[in-house]
Amino acid sequence: MLLEVKNLKTSFNTSRGKVRSVNDVSFSLREGEILGLVGESGCGKSVTSLSIMGLVPKPEGIIEGGKILLEGIDLLKLSEKEMCKIRGNKISMIYQEPMTALNPVFTIEEQIGETIKIHEKLKGRVVRERVIKLLDLVQIPNPEKSLKKYPYELSGGMRQRVVIAMALACNPKILIADEPTTALDVTIQAEIIDLLKDISKKLRTSIIFITHDLDVIAEIADRVAVMYGGKIVEETDVNNFFDNSLHPYSKGLMLSRTDNINKGERLFSILGMVPSPYNMPAGCPFNPRCEKSKDICSVKVPELFGRIEGHKVRCWLYAENEG
């Protein structure tokens, strides 16, 4: 297995006390696979990805437990210096807003070139050739000309392509894409998704694709993990997810898709709000919003039950058939 996250627990010390944002998260990622991590805002998706990158803000953020095994090596045991070598070389991350990753005063060539120079001791012409190759890979038209441009001269979609090129500069095995298309309009969003799928196929790059949008999941993911209240509540392959999701939260998300309005149905939205980590309900974090809630649900957190091969669900409704 390329990446295995095991029982990850990440908390923050805040003025209102300690809160656990990622609570016992486990999942794995195979080579070349695209895992969609989906859930409403605040459920712990970004903190999960920052934990993998070793970028949880310090000193308030603390990883309190778990393992993050990259090809068997626990990243949580590495020094900051060793983690620097992992970032960019083995795992890269792209964010929602491309401008956060770009420096407005440098040209595209300077920015991507800098990333290459930091990680590999290359100079001059060789660097430029690599930059051109990367711009070509992310399908930026006319790479030789685009090199000279500054971020503000590019559209949002083109900027995100530059950021993807920077993330791929050292040919990482894993790309973590945290809502990379959320700020873009729908057509551009579709183009970026196609590009990432294409890159994953061509380079065998594994992608953790984070989004709150099930339509995006349907387009890009091979496998889906649904997060709620700092936990993974369901995990299965993408086709099974759309045909046969089991968790009441997943079913609610499914019903609130825009597709369902187009078909003339009333927009369903899950009642209530995502729980704040300051005020996590006892038992299953979804129980206060769940129509199917039973007595046990507000008392005990369900395990991830796996009665079907490759399909796990953290819900008491599915516990009976556990051996």
Ligand X SMILES: Nc1ncnc2c1ncn2[C@@H]1O[C@H](COP(=O)(O)OP(=O)(O)O)[C@@H](O)[C@H]1O
Task: Assess contact for 82 and 133: CB atoms under 8 A.
Answer: no
Tell me which amino acid residue 60 is. Answer: E
* Of the residues 14, 155, 239, 269, which one makes contact with ligand X according to CB under 6 A: 14
What is the radius of gyration, based on Cα positions, of the chain?
21
Neighbour-count burial of 99, counting CB atoms closer than 10 A to its CB (0-12 exposed, 13-18 middle, 19+ buried)? middle
* 181 forms part of the interface with ligand X (CB under 6 A): no
Q: How far is the CB of 274 from Mg ion (least distance, A)?
A: 12
What SS3 class is residue 10? strand
User: Cβ of 81: how many Cβ atoms within 10 Å?
Assistant: 7
Give backbone dihedrals phi and psi of 68, rounded to 5 degrees, phi first: -125, 95
Distance, in Å, from the CA atom of 232 to the CA atom of 38, rounded to the nearest integer, reads 9
C-beta of 42 vs 113, nearer to ligand X: 42
Determine the straight-line distance between the first and last CA of the chain, rounded to whole angstroms.
27
* 208 forms part of the interface with ligand X (CB under 6 A): no
C-beta of 4 vs 40, nearer to Mg ion: 40
C-beta of 36 vs 42, nearer to ligand X: 42
Footprint on residues 239-278 left by ligand X (CB under 6 A) = 276-277
* 49 forms part of the interface with Mg ion (CB under 5 A): no
Task: Assess contact for 214 and 130: CB atoms under 8 A.
Answer: no
* 285 forms part of the interface with ligand X (CB under 6 A): no
What binding mask, one character per residue, do residues 56-85 give for ligand X by CB under 6 A, x or -? -x--xx------------------------
Instruction: From the list Mg ion, ligand X, none, pick the one residue 43 interacts with, judged by a Cβ distance below 5 to 8 Å according to partner type.
Output: ligand X
By CB under 5 A, name the binding residues for Mg ion: 45-46
By CB under 6 A, name the binding residues for ligand X: 12, 14, 19, 21, 39, 41-47, 57, 60-61, 276-277
